Structure 1
Amino acid sequence: MPLSPLRFRFLVISLLTVSFLGALDNTVVSTALATVAGDLGALEDMSWIIVGYTLASTVLLPVLGKLGDMIGPRAVFLGSLIVFIVSSVACGFAPSMGWLIAARVVQGMSSAGLQLMSQTIIAETTTPRQRPKYMAIIGAAFPIAILIGPVIGGLITDYWTWPWVFWVNAPVGIVAFILAVIAVPHLDGGGRSRFDLAGAATLTSGLVSLVLAVTWVVDRQQTVAATAAFAAAGVGLAAFVVIELRSASPIVPLRHLANRTIATGIVISAIIGIGLFSITAYLPTYFQMAYRTSATVSGLVPIATVFGMLVSNLVTGWLASRSGHYRVFPLAGTILGAAGLAVMAILPVGLPLWVPMVVMALVGLGTGAFMSLIVAVVQSAAPRSEIGAVTATVNLVRQVGATVATALIGGVIGFAVAAALPGGLDAATLTPAEVHGASEAIQAQVAELYRDVFAPIFFALAGTYLVGVVASLLLPPGRLSDDPDDIPSAAPPRHPARSMP
């Protein structure tokens, strides 16, 4: 039975609020990291506040996706929201770093459920043609969180105390929970079939080992541990593939890779993590060193990138829903992203900052053109009983791609800079302030060094977007259906004169 207009609006507001909470959590916390670590007296473990959260949210995606298909996305969504609120409160009361990291792991696990079930519920309550518009609205939570999260985190840390970075999730989460109880319809699962425990265990162990390996590989003191982790990841993931191919109810339905829409969509989704998310963390350092800007000014480039992504995400979602056509957007977006990153590779240092800002904004525009849309397209090709698992796979390859590429890029930058620094500068203690205080000749040398180090990285990332161009060309053409028979479950009301709400 169709949802009433009011109930569907409540549903979208609830899902957007919850998605925003999950996306905002990491960006807000990052600003308060140093304060939190100092108060708890464990500066050496500071990175695990982020790593634990990210690791848990990544490895739980396929498990929660399959669980949503079995028992229904509403139950997983509401359960994840309750756990997210409780773990947020626990984070704020943490008396030690161990407590905080453990609570962050639980928080990350629940965040995976919020992110994934929001997309699955949209898929279950809209037609394929309506889906891009609403998927874009939900997907807007991520770029908005990147834009305002650090500011909010800084204000909370400066004017309240760091526990409120976590506690602020509770009142907002409770409001979102009340809205969700009212608005999210009861969506039937596929039945309580046998859960793929072996697949879940091998995939989790393989992914945990892989993420730890790429995290440790940049640290020369962790070479042995990284090698062992890579070996464990290889064994775990190989065992997972064998198990999934034999399982009657696999946690990741590998057989769907034979579907060209799903296979190419997964490749296109991975481009976002590998090609853009991986480099944004290093852009401020690049501009502080190569363009000799302050830390504040260097942040304008990633802001321009994310803003372009936000605008394009919303516009293309609306256009795809209006026309039903979708193939042109990932094709144009990957071409624009490849061209922008190639231009970044050849830009000389010393140009006005607005030049790379415009170029990276174009990369963001290109990426936003398919960021949420490709999820909706893949969902449209998936069986109703496995929408959660397929949606989880799309998100999983994006996050794993971003994690692996980020670690590799960090290792390349660290090694290349250390090998070519001018005499008198130590890579282990090098800061932008130290470079800015050096002689003009040293500043020019460091600027050229960073340009030479980053140029091949930009070219390599442009190459990943070219892979996306090929995948977009292979994406089967067509139009998203607006047939009510293609609605997996309940759907928003259809206006008589239009095919979309």
Structure 2
Amino acid sequence: MEKQKPVVATDVEAAETERQVDASSSRDQEDATRSEKKPLSFHLSFLAINIMVFMISIDATALAVAIPVITQDLKGTTLEAFWASLSFLLAVAVFQPIYTSLSETFGRMGPLYSTFVWFVLGSIVFAVARSMPVLIVGRIFQGIGAGGLDVLSEVILVDMTTLKERPMYLGLFAIPMAAGTIVGPIIGALFTEYATWRWLGWINLPISAVNFGLIVVFLRLKPIEQTLKEKLRRLDWIGMLLFGVGCVAFASPMSWAGAMFPWGAWQTILPLVIGFAILIIFGLYERGFIGKEPTEPIFPTRIFDQNTALFTLFSSFLHGAVIYSGIFYLPVFFQSVYLETALKSAVHILPLCCTSVSMSVISGVAVEFVRKYRWGIILSWAITSISCGLMALWERESSLALTSGVQVMIGFGLGPFFTLLPLPIQATVTRVDDSGIAVGVLVSFRLFGGLISLAMCSTIFSNVFSQQIHTLGELPEPIAVLKEVNAAIEFVPMLRDLDLPVAQMSGVIDAYRKGLIAIFLLLSGFSALGFLSSFFIREKSIESVELGRQQMVEEKKDS
């Protein structure tokens, strides 16, 4: 009898295994059928969120080539030029997690509609600005709207698709993101040279109108069935306040340290320490160590419970640090060192942008086939670290083959992250309902990385440029303004028209080159850190066939 028990148990286990396989096969068949029969509303909704990403990508990158001309036109300073981009990213970084939290409580649609209002309002203020402070206010409004559009587009993609089919859609989703990065600098250059930079604001209005129309007509998501009072009670009001104040206080002094105030000045140290302390308090509050843990925290602690999730978020932070600073400073490099026009500098960075697009799509297709992502992340960081370091070899006499070849390598490294990094963070969530907010947190970390990096780069450039300029001794009248580092970016468009002795001209250009090379070396260091940390990301199954929490509502006529 005792010998037969294992046989019976084995038979039962075999039967149970067979039933599980049959159930899994049945789910796979249902999922395949569901994927094949996506309704028209799904495809048009997917088109709408792609347009959202395309529009934001253009807006975020077009300013990079236009900012020297804008700063000159509005008689701004280098610090104001940095803040034109930094304020946008700061608003995006602060409001992305807030929009994610709002969408978890109120549903996606209401917050999504409000983002269009902020983005259009900011575009109008930007377009009519007559001074740099007003332009910066416009960029802040745009950032509030763009932060919501960016994060909600990825969250809604999670709602609409299953994790199993998501690699393919993430690959497609990366096309408008990278395409906007390609055409943004070109559009910025064309408007700057042949029309006016103000069209960088006006162009957002018709695109927003078309996009908003598609969303209103075709995007239907499951509502949150709660009263307004219940929803308001669940919001993390204190967390939102702490996070916003902490981010602003921490990032702001990093942008002016060494330029407007010394690093050791109280104007730098005090807000930096206060901001850091507030962010620490925010983290403790979210964990429930200070007061009662919020019902719907901005950053739910359960998302951070696994090491894979933590290191994926760290990789996203570093990805943002490298890509946003790279896109901003590469055109400045070609304009100040190669003395290129805004348009030509935009064309010069096409190898990076085009390769990023291609690799974003290719990596999504590759994961669709191999069902693995870990080694793709590790390899991408290795390539990025090496290629960013190679930019230190760039000189005025460097060939097109060298500058383009290095950019192609960077694109090979940075492109796949848009597709690969969302996968491990979603694969680690313990509740399917958390997939959307997990992606929202991931996107927030990417933008926060860009924010911190731009602030650090501003300081590094200012310090190195100032040191190099002072080694030139007494400057002649045409370039005397460069003694004040705040005028460096504003002066870039005038470099092409200078009539100086060869030695002095070479000294000025070399000051720009060394300041920018210092930035590229910093980005290489960020990438090396990403490479080391990526080994702690573990391979998780991506075979889930569950849709997100606020999945699309089926059309009644189809039922």
Q: TM-score, normalised by structure 1?
A: 0.85
Q: How does 1:273-284 map to 2 (within 5 A)?
A: 273-284=320-331
Aligned residues: 491
> Are residues 93 and 455 of structure 1, via their aligned partners in 2, closer, same or farther at CA, if it must alter by over 3 Å?
closer
Report the Cα offset of residue 367 of structure 1. 0.8
User: Which residue pairs with 1:464 in the alignment?
Assistant: 526
Percent identity over the alignment is 21
Question: Is the counterpart of residue 127 in structure 1 residue 162 in structure 2?
Answer: yes
Contact 2:127 2:202 in 1 (8 A): yes
Q: How does 1:339-350 map to 2 (within 5 A)?
A: 339-346=386-393, 350=397
Report the Cα offset of residue 21 of structure 1. 1.8
Return the alpha-carbon distance in structure 1 between the equivalents of residues 306 and 182 of structure 2: 36
What code does the residue aligned with 2:42 have?
Answer: F
The 3-state SS of whatever aligns with 2:287 is helix
Question: Tell me, which stretches of 5 or more residues in structure 1 are unaligned?
Answer: 494-501
CA displacement 1:340-372 (0-9 Å, x = unmatched): 123333566633132122112211211111123
Residue 256 of structure 2, aligned match among 216, 239, 244: 216
Question: Is the counterpart of residue 254 in structure 1 residue 301 in structure 2?
Answer: yes
Contact 1:127 1:491 in 2 (8 A): no
The 3-state SS of whatever aligns with 1:351 is coil
CA displacement 1:306-332 (0-9 Å, x = unmatched): 222121112112222333221122111
Compare 357-366 and 408-417 and name the one that shifted more: 408-417
Compare 407-416 and 423-432 and name the one that shifted more: 423-432
CA displacement 1:453-491 (0-9 Å, x = unmatched): 66665444323222222332221114421x434654547
Residue 238 of structure 2, aligned match among 198, 202, 220: 198
Question: Is the counterpart of residue 419 in structure 1 residue 467 in structure 2?
Answer: yes
Return the alpha-carbon distance in structure 2 between the equivalents of residues 103 and 441 of structure 1: 41
What code does the residue aligned with 1:197 have?
Answer: W
Report the Cα offset of residue 441 of structure 1. 4.5
Return the alpha-carbon distance in structure 2 between the equivalents of residues 319 and 166 of structure 1: 37
Report the Cα offset of residue 304 of structure 1. 1.9
Question: Is the counterpart of residue 186 in structure 1 residue 221 in structure 2?
Answer: yes
User: Which residue pairs with 2:557 in the alignment?
Assistant: none
Residue 236 of structure 1, aligned match among 264, 272, 278: 278
Residue 484 of structure 1, aligned match among 545, 549, 557: 545
Residue 318 of structure 1, aligned match among 365, 369, 373: 365
User: Which residue pairs with 1:379 in the alignment?
Assistant: 426
Contact 2:92 2:447 in 1 (8 A): no
RMSD: 3.5
Contact 2:116 2:212 in 1 (8 A): yes
Q: How does 1:8-407 map to 2 (within 5 A)?
A: 8-28=42-62, 43=76, 49-89=84-124, 92=127, 101-156=136-191, 164-189=199-224, 192=231, 194-221=234-261, 223-246=265-288, 247-249=293-295, 250-287=297-334, 297-346=344-393, 350-382=397-429, 383-407=431-455
Contact 1:91 1:166 in 2 (8 A): yes
> Are residues 35 and 447 of structure 1, via their aligned partners in 2, closer, same or farther at CA, if it must alter by over 3 Å?
closer
Return the alpha-carbon distance in structure 1 between the equivalents of residues 83 and 197 of structure 2: 17
Contact 1:216 1:225 in 2 (8 A): no
The 3-state SS of whatever aligns with 1:220 is coil
> Are residues 105 and 322 of structure 1, via their aligned partners in 2, closer, same or farther at CA, if it must alter by over 3 Å?
same
What code does the residue aligned with 2:366 have?
Answer: L
> Are residues 23 and 450 of structure 1, via their aligned partners in 2, closer, same or farther at CA, if it must alter by over 3 Å?
closer
Return the alpha-carbon distance in structure 2 between the equivalents of residues 8 and 254 of structure 1: 32
> Are residues 314 and 260 of structure 1, via their aligned partners in 2, closer, same or farther at CA, if it must alter by over 3 Å?
same
User: Which residue pairs with 2:536 in the alignment?
Assistant: 474
Report the Cα offset of residue 395 of structure 1. 2.0
The 3-state SS of whatever aligns with 2:399 is coil
Return the alpha-carbon distance in structure 2 between the equivalents of residues 347 and 47 of structure 1: 23
The 3-state SS of whatever aligns with 1:60 is helix
The 3-state SS of whatever aligns with 2:349 is helix
Return the alpha-carbon distance in structure 1 between the equivalents of residues 65 and 122 of structure 2: 19
Contact 2:380 2:413 in 1 (8 A): yes
Contact 2:427 2:541 in 1 (8 A): no
Return the alpha-carbon distance in structure 1 between the equivalents of residues 139 and 519 of structure 2: 32
The 3-state SS of whatever aligns with 1:484 is coil
What code does the residue aligned with 1:484 have?
Answer: V
Return the alpha-carbon distance in structure 1 between the equivalents of residues 394 and 65 of structure 2: 31
Return the alpha-carbon distance in structure 2 between the equivalents of residues 472 and 366 of structure 1: 13
Contact 1:20 1:145 in 2 (8 A): yes
What code does the residue aligned with 1:217 have?
Answer: A
Contact 1:435 1:443 in 2 (8 A): no
Return the alpha-carbon distance in structure 1 between the equivalents of residues 500 and 133 of structure 2: 41
CA displacement 1:108-142 (0-9 Å, x = unmatched): 21211111110001111111132233223333334
> Are residues 27 and 204 of structure 1, via their aligned partners in 2, closer, same or farther at CA, if it must alter by over 3 Å?
same
Q: Which has the larger radius of gyration?
A: 2
Return the alpha-carbon distance in structure 2 between the equivalents of residues 458 and 153 of structure 1: 23
Return the alpha-carbon distance in structure 2 between the equivalents of residues 19 and 369 of structure 1: 17
What code does the residue aligned with 1:225 have?
Answer: Q
Question: Tell me, which stretches of 5 or more residues in structure 2 are unaligned?
Answer: 1-30, 555-559
Return the alpha-carbon distance in structure 1 between the equivalents of residues 388 and 69 of structure 2: 35
Return the alpha-carbon distance in structure 2 between the equivalents of residues 154 and 363 of structure 1: 22
What code does the residue aligned with 1:402 have?
Answer: G
Return the alpha-carbon distance in structure 1 between the equivalents of residues 503 and 197 of structure 2: 42
Contact 1:143 1:310 in 2 (8 A): yes
